Structures are given as structure tokens and as C-alpha cells.
Amino acid sequence: MQRILVVDDSATARMFIRRCLEIAGIEAEVVEASNGKEALALLKQNPTDVVMADLNMPLMDGETLLRWIKTTPKLQAIPVIFITSAKNTALAEQLSSQGAHTILSKPVNPATISEAFSSLNA
């Protein structure tokens, strides 16, 4: 079973993403963090297969978390999927160039999450 780290400062958003994963049929152990700093601590403790993160969070935002992941040899192979309300083309290109796998616009749904996970295995 894969392990997915969901990072969002909103408990409601984390619960919604967890539910979308279930409905999409993605079997995983879902671990949650409320900001990038907490996520980084969890990533250093336990192997994680996928990170799903919000972009705008306190303490450490999603873009800073992405830079940490992609510059840490032990973590850099982990795909990062962003779920954000701040999506625009320039931002998507910037995040992709920094190593983000996919950028999804809020609100997400089980179909968009399923599609993002399908592209991980392509």
C-alpha cells in the first residue's frame, strides 16, 4: 500500500482530499500535515510515495517545501502534486520547472485526482 502525505493548512481541505482519494479508489495510508515545515519533518521520518500539497500555507509554503524535497537526495524522487486555488499558467510552468509533477485547481474531485495518479504510473 502506498503512503500519501496530504499537506494543507485547512483541516477541511485535508479531509476533502482524503475522501476524494477514497472515492477515486486510490488505496493508501494517508498522513496529514498542516504546513510545509510539519510535512518536511514527516518526510524525514517515514518513506512517502506521493506528496499532495497546497501552495499557500503558514510557516513553510508549498513552493519552499517543493524546493526542499527536490534538493534532498533521499526525498527528490517523491512526486509532488499541488492542489491550489492560485493556479495560473506562469505559476504552473514555474512549479513544473522546479520538479512538481502536477498542479490541480481547487476544488478538486475524485476524477481529477484519479487522473493525476494515473499519470504517475504512465
pLDDT tens digits for range 55-105: 999 999 999 999 999 999 999 999 999 998 876 778 888 889 999 999 998
- Beta bridge partners of residue 58, listed in sequence order: none
Report, at the CATH architecture level, how domain 2-106 is classified: 3-Layer(aba) Sandwich (3.40)
Question: Is 29 or 121 the better-scoring residue by pLDDT?
Answer: 29
- Find the Cα–Cα–Cα–Cα dihedral 103, 108, 109, 114, rounded to 10°: 20
pLDDT tens digits for range 58-72: 999 999 999 999 999
Q: Mean per-residue pLDDT for 7-34?
A: 96
This prediction has a pTM of: 0.93
Task: Report how far residue 70's alpha carbon sits from residue 99's, in angstroms, rounded to the nearest whole number.
Answer: 7
Instruction: Provide the terminal-to-terminal Cα distance of the chain, rounded to the nearest Å.
Output: 18
Question: Cα–Cα–Cα angle for 68, 81, 84, nearest 5°?
Answer: 100
Long-range contact set of residues 62-67: C-beta below 8 Å, sequence gap at least 24:
62/7, 62/36, 63/95, 63/98, 64/36, 65/7, 65/36, 65/39, 65/40, 66/95, 66/98, 66/99, 66/100, 67/98
Question: Domain limits of the chain?
Answer: 2-106
User: Which DSSP category does 93 fall into?
Assistant: H
